[in-house]
Amino acid sequence: MSERSWERLRRRRLGEPGAAAEYEATRLAYELGKAVRERREQHGWSQSELARAAGMTQSAVARFEAGGTVPTLVVLERLARALDAELSVQFRPKPGRPATA
């Protein structure tokens, strides 16, 4: 499939109902997993070591780091605590849009 055909298919699929929301959820899961993996690697830990510290299984950590699951806030808090990090969940205005009072 040529790049041109792929872009056309991608635009059409993203235009389908619910596709944009699913794409955004996938992006968020990927970014969360990447952040945890980077923090784990900074600690010099394996997935098994993080899993043990967070009270999870190694396979759950692997799925999370790969962006395969969208975690609950409870799981995020356990991972943050295990990684000696502070979990911060916030709502911010999108760039270019003023905050409303």
Please give the model's pTM, rounded to 2 decimal places.
0.75
Q: For 5-39, how does the pLDDT look when each residue is reduced to its tens digit (9 = 90+)? A: 878 877 887 788 888 888 888 888 999 999 999 99
Average pLDDT for 45-54: 98
Quote the CA–CA distance of 41 and 46 in Å, as a whole number. Answer: 8
Q: Is 59 a domain residue?
A: yes
Q: Is 45 a domain residue?
A: yes
57 in the Ramachandran plot: left (φ > 0), alpha (ψ -120 to 50) or beta?
beta
Q: What is the CATH number for 34? A: 1.10.260.40
Q: Is 75 a domain residue?
A: yes
Q: Is 23 a domain residue?
A: yes
Q: Is 91 a domain residue?
A: no
Q: Is 92 a domain residue?
A: no
pLDDT tier at 61, thresholds 50, 70, 90: very high
Q: For 80-100, how does the pLDDT look when each residue is reduced to its tens digit (9 = 90+)? A: 999 999 999 889 898 887 666
Q: Is 41 a domain residue?
A: yes
Number of structural domains found in the chain: 1
Q: Is 97 a domain residue?
A: no
